Chains A and B, each alone.
Chain A
Amino acid sequence: KAGVTQTPRYLIKTRGQQVTLSCSPISGHRSVSWYQQTPGQGLQFLFEYFSETQRNKGNFPGRFSGRQFSNSRSEMNVSTLELGDSALYLCASSPRGAGDVGELFFGEGSRLTVL
C-alpha cells in the first residue's frame, strides 16, 4: 500500500500570501488529521476530518482552514501568512472509524517557510 502523500514537500511564501497544502491518505483510511510542528512548540493539533466532516479542531486562528473530499483526500489552507507560520505541516491518516482508537500514519510533511 502506498503511504500518506503530502504535496508540496517544500515551499517558500512571503507574509500576507496564502498557501494550500494537500494530503492523500492511505487507501481505505477515512480519517485525516493535520499537525503543525515547530522546534519550540512541538506538534500542535490543527484539525481532523472524517468522511468529509471536521471532527475535531485545535486552537488555531481562523486563518487556518481545511477540508476533506469524498475520496478522503484533504487540503489545508493558511491565509494571510505570518512569519510564525513557518513550520513543518504533517498530515496523518488513520483507519479508525468513529469512536475507535488507532495509530496515525504520517506523511513526510510539507515544510513551509514564510519570509
Chain B
Amino acid sequence: AQSVAQPEDQVNVAEGNPLTVKCTYSVSGNPYLFWYVQYPNRGLQFLLKYITGDNLVKGSYGFEAEFNKSQTSFHLKKPSALVSDSALYFCAVSNSGNTPLVFGKGTRLSVIA
C-alpha cells in the first residue's frame, strides 16, 4: 500500500527567505508524486507533479520540487517566500493510473512579513 509522510505539521518562514516543505513516500513500483495547496475554505489547487524524467519539477507560483528516489522524498521548495504563500500544503502519491491518490496529512505554511 502506498503512503505519504509530511513530518512537519507547521512551517514558519520569514518573507523573502527560501522555504521547504518536506514529503517522503512509500510505494511499490514507480511513484507518481503531486503537490497541492489549499487556502482557507477552498478546495485543493494543483501545484506540480512528477511522473517521469527530470528530477527537478517546476510548477505554479514559483514553486518547485525535487524527486529523490534513494531518499524516497519529494520536497517542495521556493527560493523566496511571499506572505500570500501562507496556506495548507499536501503531498500525494500514486503508483499507477488505476489507483487513487493518497495524500499526506498536510503542512501548514506560515510566511511572516
Contact of B99 among A56, A92, A98 (CB under 8 A): A56
Given contacts A99-B96, A99-B98, contact A104 B46 (CB under 8 A): yes
> Is A58 interfacial (CB 8 A cutoff)?
yes
Instruction: Count how many chain A residues have C-beta atoms less than 8 Å from C-beta atoms of the other chain.
Output: 27
Residues of chain A within 8 A of B102, CB atoms compared: 45
| Chain A at the B interface: SS class | loop
Among A97, A101, A109, which residue has the most Cβ atoms of chain B within 10 A? Answer: A101
How many A-B contacts are there with CB distance less than 8 Å?
58
Contact with B along A37-61 (1 / 0, CB 8 A): 0000111010010000001101000
Whether B100 and A106, one on each chain, are in contact in the complex, defined by CB atoms closer than 8 angstroms, is no
Contact of B100 among A4, A56, A103 (CB under 8 A): A56
Residues of B within 8 A of A (CB): 32, 34, 36, 41-46, 49, 51, 90, 94, 96-106
Residues of A within 8 A of B (CB): 4, 33, 35, 41-43, 45, 48, 55-56, 58, 90, 92, 96-109
